[in-house]
Amino acid sequence: MRIALGIEYDGFAFSGWQIQAGNLPTVQADLEVALSKIANETISKCQVAGRTDTGVHATEQVIHFDTHAKRSPRSWVLGANRYLTKQTVSVLWAHAVNDDFHARFSAQRRRYRYIILSRPVRPTFLNHHVSWDSRPLNLERMQYAAQVLVGEHDFNSFRTVKCQAQSSIKHVYFLDVSQRGEYFYIDIEANSFLHHMVRNIAGVLIAIGAGDAEPEWIEEVLVAKDRTKGGKTAPSGGLYLTHVTYDTRFKLPQIDSKTIV
């Protein structure tokens, strides 16, 4: 039996999603321990829609696992949340799926939100959950520059040198920059993302918003297809995976998490 789960987590407590050597705390490790207790069997190799790095959060990550255990969706949710005692990961929903569903390979689109706090004083309560910039940012400059990246492009300039993706060509369906008071929000959706792609885009947009570069610079970075021509990688704490799109035939009980963060 294959089960899909929607989960949310605070990435500050973890060294990313994927299990690593050295017993580092990861979301995958915590979740598999909790699921194994419910199933009364070992649950391992949970597959995920998008592997997140150290410090990156999720408001609706999607995973799947295989099990012989027969439990109701309610039992998977309540049981998992009971054993996830650190209160940094929560299961939002559970749904039985056919074997042709795969959390990663069945995903059609992924959506991220990057949050910036623009004010002279550093954050207290939201430290590690927003990216802080002490300089005033210009929304219009950031919005204008962001539209250059919409569509299908080679994003080689926006990925880490350690990225192992075979192709750097991605399709960005939308890239919006908005502002509410001191907070700036970068919302981006694409078919898939390169390693550090969102954070590198955010770094360029922040530099443009702060006046360190002109809006036209983002096109120069894109065309260069060279990571060394780009800006700084924005901190991980401001990044949230907010939604993953699947074919409606899977009937996943997903939520609209755009308003959560």
Which residues are marked as active site? 53
Residue 178 Cα distances to 14, 116, 141, 146, 181, angstroms = 29, 10, 11, 11, 10
Q: What is the distance between the alpha carbons of residues 111 and 191, in angstroms, rounded to a whole number?
A: 9
The type of residue at 115 is I
3-state helix/strand/coil string of 15-52 = CCCCCCCCCCCCHHHHHHHHHHHHHCCCCCCCEECCCC
Phi and psi for 114 in degrees, rounded to 5? -115, 130
Contact 51, 6 (CB under 8 A): no
Pairing of β 109-118 and β 57-66: unpaired
* Half-sphere exposure at residue 252, Cβ-oriented, CA atoms within 13 angstroms: 30
| Beta-carbon contacts of residue 181 (< 8 Å; ≥ 6 apart) | none
Q: What is the distance between the alpha carbons of residues 243 and 228, in angstroms, rounded to a whole number?
A: 30
Phi and psi for 109 in degrees, rounded to 5? -145, 155
Cβ neighbourhood burial of 166 (10 Å; 0-12, 13-18, 19+): exposed
